[in-house]
């Protein structure tokens, strides 16, 4: 037997559904960015440092200050200093440092959400690998998941002074 709902409940139900879709979208984006398929991976620190929050992301974290990535980088550096060449580490470690999801923070679709990377060198890496192509598909991904979308902004508050093709302080809005 079909479930009947009262017309008065429609706004609450719609709001709940949009909120669930918005958070599902953010979870999917975070999962994609935290993978070696999208993010360039050497130690795994960059792929592990994606963060979603209500304010612009400021990249401040150095790989040397966080284990196990510091150990992986140290081993690669020792190889470089000993031989003059460095090969990709055999076992990069990818583990999201700022997870989102059911047990984590729930985002309000009525407020802007910023997606960025906490790795201090992210301003140089963000234009490499599959990232630019993935960022280009976000608008379509948002349209597929959301019927009434919230505001999602992708980028860094602080960027290089015109390094690469991105202008300083560029934030892409969807």
- Hey, where are the domains in the chain? 9-173
**Cβ burial, residue 52 (10 Å; 0-12/13-18/19+):** buried
* Torsion angle in degrees (nearest 10) through CA of 83, 122, 117, 174: -140
Position 155 scores a pLDDT of 62
Position 46 scores a pLDDT of 95
Walk along the chain (174 residues) and give the pLDDT tens digit of each residue: 556 667 777 788 888 888 888 888 999 999 999 999 999 888 999 999 999 999 999 999 999 999 999 999 998 888 888 888 878 888 999 999 998 866 666 888 889 999 999 999 988 888 777 888 888 888 888 888 875 545 556 665 554 444 455 555 555 555
**Residue given tokens 């979603």 in the structure block:** 52
Distance (Å, whole) CA 131 – CA 165: 13
Q: Each residue of 107-121: pLDDT tens digit?
A: 888 899 999 999 999
Position 162 scores a pLDDT of 47
Position 12 scores a pLDDT of 85
Its sign, for the CA torsion 25, 29, 34, 36, is: positive
Distance (Å, whole) CA 87 – CA 76: 7
Its sign, for the CA torsion 136, 37, 78, 49, is: positive
CA-based nearest residue to 61, from 118, 123, 125: 118
What residues form DSSP beta bridges with 154? 115, 172
Distance (Å, whole) CA 38 – CA 33: 6
Alpha carbon distances (Å) from 15 to 46, 59, 146, 149, 158: 34, 33, 12, 11, 34
**Residue given tokens 């976000």 in the structure block:** 138
CA-based nearest residue to 159, from 127, 130, 137, 132: 127
Give the count of beta carbons closer than 10 Å to the beta carbon of residue 111: 9
Apex 71 CA angle, 90 and 51, nearest 5? 90
């Amino acid at each position: 037997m079909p479930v009947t709902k009262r017309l008065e409940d429609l706004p609450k139900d719609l709001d709940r559904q949009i909120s669930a879709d918005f958070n599902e979208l953010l979870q999917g984006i975070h999962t994609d960015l935290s993978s070696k398929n999208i993010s360039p991976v050497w130690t795994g620190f960059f792929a592990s440092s994606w963060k979603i929050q209500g304010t612009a992301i400021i990249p401040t974290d150095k790989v040397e200050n966080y284990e196990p990535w510091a150990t992986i980088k140290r081993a690669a550096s020792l190889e470089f200093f000993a031989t003059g060449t460095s090969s990709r580490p055999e076992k990069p470690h990818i583990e999201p440092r700022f997870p989102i999801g059911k047990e984590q923070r729930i985002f309000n679709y009525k407020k802007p959400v910023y997606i960025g990377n906490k790795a201090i060198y992210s301003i140089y890496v963000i234009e490499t690998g599959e990232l630019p192509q993935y960022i280009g598909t976000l608008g379509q991904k948002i349209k597929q998941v959301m019927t009434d979308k919230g505001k999602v902004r992708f980028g860094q508050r602080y960027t290089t002074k015109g390094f690469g093709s991105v202008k300083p302080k560029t934030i892409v809005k969807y």
